[in-house]
Amino acid sequence: MNLKSQFTLAFMLSVLCLICFSGMAILISGSKIVAFDHDVISFIQGFESPLLTTIMKFFTFIGSTPAVAMISILSLFFLYKVLKHRTELILFIAIIIGSPILNGLLKLLFHRARPNFHRLIEINGYSFPSGHAMSAFAVYGILSFLLWRHIPTRWGRTLLILICSIMILLIGISRIYLGVHYPSDVIGGYFASGCWVAIAIWFYQRYQEKKSEQRRPN
């Protein structure tokens, strides 16, 4: 896929995620998704066991601010020292910092209370959209984008996408299992973060395209 195609794809994905997030926000505001949320929570928490609770707490920790900060620092070191990235580091930092800022603004906007019928951990703050879901999508989404071009084999790229997708999914599910988020919070978080990541990549690709045009001989 050439640079112009990537540029167009990033823009289309940002618009699609924005539309999906807006639809989710409308459903939440109108309380039209309550039955869906309760059914999914009941299904996921139906598998509750001491071992599974420990596993879900681990994935929730992986999606927490301290863990995300550590993963980001290690990723920055790898991108800079091993892959010799330069401008990509700005993109990575912008996405990682921008995600929690956007999440905080959206939570203040929607003021959705957290579930209160069966919590396995206690946490304060508003519920929609899930900060863990947004952070997970931001971190593993941008890592997938930056590492993809450096993996020469198809199976290697498939493994990269598979691992990142599993991490994103399990961090989101852990929040539902532990009773601190509705499923719609997690889904909304994915869409919000997807929009943010795609917009950031769009600007980055646009910058790269302009640099490429400047290098071309007249």
| 8 Å CB contact between 133 and 191 | no
Give the pLDDT confidence of 175-212 residue by residue, as tens digits: 999 999 999 999 999 999 999 999 998 888 887 777 66
Q: How far is CA 213 from CA 121, 206, 217, in A?
A: 53, 11, 9
11's CB contacts (< 8 A; 6+ apart) are 198, 202
Residue 82's pLDDT band, with cuts at 50, 70 and 90, is: confident
Give the pLDDT confidence of 105-132 residue by residue, as tens digits: 999 998 888 888 888 888 888 889 999 9
Its pTM stands at 0.89
Return d(Cα 204, Cα 195) in angstroms, integer. 14
